[in-house]
Amino acid sequence: MISRSNAEAVLAEALKTGGDFAELYMEDAESHSIAMLQGVVENAAYSRKKGAGVRVLSGTKSAYAYTVDTSLEALLDTARRASAIISGEGAEIRHLTDIRQSKGQYGIPFSTIDNVKRITLLLEGTNAAKAVSHEINRVSAGYFDTDKKVLICNSEGVWAEDRRPRTRLSFDAVATDGKEYQTGGERPAYGMGFEAYELIDPAAAGETAAKTAVTMLHAPECPAGYMPVAIDGGFGGVILHEACVHSLEATSVGRGNSEFCGKMGRRIASEKVTAIDDGTLKGEWGSIGCDDEGNPSQRNVLIENGILKSYLVDRLGSRLMDHPMTGSARRQSYEYAPTSRMTNTFIAPGTDDEEEMIRTMGDGLFAARMGGGSVNPLTGEFNFSVIEGYWVKDGKIYCPVRGAALIGRGAEVLMKIDRVGRDMWMGHGMCGSRSGSVPTNVGQPRIRVSGMTVGGKGSSI
């Protein structure tokens, strides 16, 4: 993307007004996307995005500028624009000799695949969804892949390159009985080349989306109240992601905007809970070879047997918090400065029997599939929808219920987890924050919360 001598010139220009650290980030990303509705292709697109950004730090002050023009003249001008905002004591740059290279998991390049193969995947999932029931009246499907190459170099001598292939399918099904509508969705994804479709079964994904929609169409409304709640694995981990780990990011902690500020080494969860953010997992949707500051990706144990062990910390957060960097700096593209972000975040497997959780909970809710929600990182208060839920009566799954919402505070729910199952799996999504939207995994085994507030419109069952 750029020679080392030219990169050093850009970094030197960025430090001319007295910054103590400078960083150049460059990317070149090629992407394909296809949208399908009812088995008909509505849109097929190819895009290529190239650009660069220059960041200058002085203590805890930061300035960032970016450009779509990656010529040396444009990069030098971008460095001047960033440095104009910063003044300080200054620093000398080191030669770019700390070489770090990672290539991601890439067996079959997307550039070798024609759209017929992509469309075939979408048709398989669409047809499987339609075959579930005559009540399925609409199926939308989407395909996405990207091959992103990034280069990060800085005034401390780091030259880091990473290649990040990713691909994802999405299926959304709508079921109706002529009076009401319910939806279901499934979005399998991996951080690898087209060989991902040796692991992804589009027909199974489409069928899952449709079955969720049909099941919820015939479900009564969920009763409200305070009760035991079992939450299944995979995307159930969204509660950990949103209601806890966002509050462990330096973006929040470094500015005193987290309920977990100053709690390092203290118990913040049940002793059954060990929570990990691991960007090193091979081929996963949220994995990275290095972060967007050029640091190697890490496996970070955030909570160990209930004890807070680490935050997620980028360079600026490290300066604010006096905490080591954790390989957690991420950004959507060159248009954003990096901030502390999650990668693959999950509750580690425990030792409890999944069926025993249901059998011994009395009356309550089994949240089989979680949806989106909202959270306040300062207080940890959250509200999450349950896409597919089941009422548990006398320790047995009695019937499906719809319209359930889980309401509470992250810190309180973590302390009330009394069961953690043995089989962990992850769901795939996009996480938005100050540095844009980035791919992340959320995961957990099935867990049980001894008591939490469930919102719903139903009467007793």
CA–CA gap between residue 66 and residue 63 (Å, rounded): 11
Closest C-alpha among 1, 162, 25, 159 to residue 94:
159
DSSP-assigned letters across all residues of 355-387 = HHHHHTS-SEEEEEEEEEEEE-TTT-EEEEEEE
CA–CA gap between residue 30 and residue 44 (Å, rounded): 14
Q: Tell me the Cα Rg of the chain.
A: 24
Residue 152 shares a structural domain with residue 285: no
Q: Quick one: CA torsion of 13, 17, 23, 29, rounded to 10 degrees? A: -60
Residue 27 shares a structural domain with residue 101: yes
pLDDT for the residue numbered 151: 98
DSSP-assigned letters across all residues of 73-123 = HHHHHHHHHHHTT--SS--PPPPS-EEEEE--S-SS-GGG--HHHHHHHHH
Q: Phi/psi at 217 (nearest 5 deg)?
A: -60, -35
Residue 281 shares a structural domain with residue 326: yes
Q: Tally Cβ neighbours within 10 Å of residue 119.
A: 17
CA–CA gap between residue 330 and residue 53 (Å, rounded): 13
Amino acid, single-letter form, for residue 254? G
Q: What's the Cα-to-Cα distance from 294 to each of 5, 30, 290, rounded to whole Å? A: 18, 21, 6
Identify the domain boundary among 183, 217, 251: 217
Residue 193 shares a structural domain with residue 246: no
Encode 434-456: b = buried (16+ Cβ within 10 Å), e = exposed. ebbebbbbbbbbbbbbbebbbbb
How many C-alpha atoms does 223 have within 13 Å on its Cβ side? 15
Identify the domain boundary among 185, 217, 249: 217
Q: How far is CA 329 from the centre of its chain?
A: 13
Q: The tokens of 7 are what?
A: 């990169």
Residue 329 shares a structural domain with residue 195: no
442: which strand partners?
A: 345, 427
- Which pTM value belongs to this model? 0.95
Q: Tally Cβ neighbours within 10 Å of residue 112.
A: 9
pLDDT for the residue numbered 87: 81
**Assigned domain for 164 exists:** yes
CA–CA gap between residue 161 and residue 102 (Å, rounded): 6
Q: How far is CA 344 from the centre of its chain?
A: 7
Q: DSSP class of residue 15? A: T
CA–CA gap between residue 207 and residue 184 (Å, rounded): 10
Residue 265 shares a structural domain with residue 120: no
SS3 416: coil
Residue 322 shares a structural domain with residue 178: no
SS3 284: coil
Q: Tally Cβ neighbours within 10 Å of residue 459.
A: 9
List, in order, residues 6 or more apart from 262 with CB less than 8 Å away. none
DSSP-assigned letters across all residues of 167-193 = EEEEEEEEEE-SS-EEEEEE--EESSS
CA–CA gap between residue 55 and residue 152 (Å, rounded): 11
Identify the domain boundary among 198, 217, 236: 217
Amino acid, single-letter form, for residue 402? R
**Assigned domain for 417 exists:** yes
**Assigned domain for 460 exists:** no
**Assigned domain for 210 exists:** yes
Q: Tally Cβ neighbours within 10 Å of residue 330.
A: 27
SS3 27: strand
**Assigned domain for 437 exists:** yes
Residue 131 shares a structural domain with residue 280: no
**Assigned domain for 461 exists:** no
Along the 461 residues of the chain, how does pLDDT read in single tens digits? 899 999 999 999 999 999 999 999 999 999 999 999 999 999 999 999 999 999 999 999 999 999 999 999 999 999 999 999 888 777 788 999 989 888 777 899 999 999 999 999 999 999 999 999 999 999 999 999 999 999 999 999 999 999 999 999 999 999 999 999 999 999 999 999 999 999 999 999 999 999 999 999 999 999 999 999 999 999 899 999 988 999 999 999 999 989 899 999 999 999 999 999 999 999 999 999 999 999 999 999 999 999 999 999 999 999 999 999 999 999 999 999 999 999 999 999 999 999 999 999 999 999 999 988 888 877 888 999 999 999 999 999 999 999 999 999 988 999 999 999 999 999 999 999 999 999 999 999 999 999 999 999 988 88
Residue 22 shares a structural domain with residue 124: yes
Please state the domain count of the chain: 2
Helix (H) or strand (E) holding 213: helix 202-217
455: which strand partners?
A: 405
Residue 289 shares a structural domain with residue 183: no
Residue 304 shares a structural domain with residue 191: no
CATH code where residue 102 lies: 3.30.2290.10
Q: Do 306 and 281 meet the contact criterion of CB atoms below 8 Å apart?
A: no
Residue 259 shares a structural domain with residue 179: no
Helix (H) or strand (E) holding 257: none
**Assigned domain for 155 exists:** yes
178: which strand partners?
A: none
317: domain range? Answer: 225-455
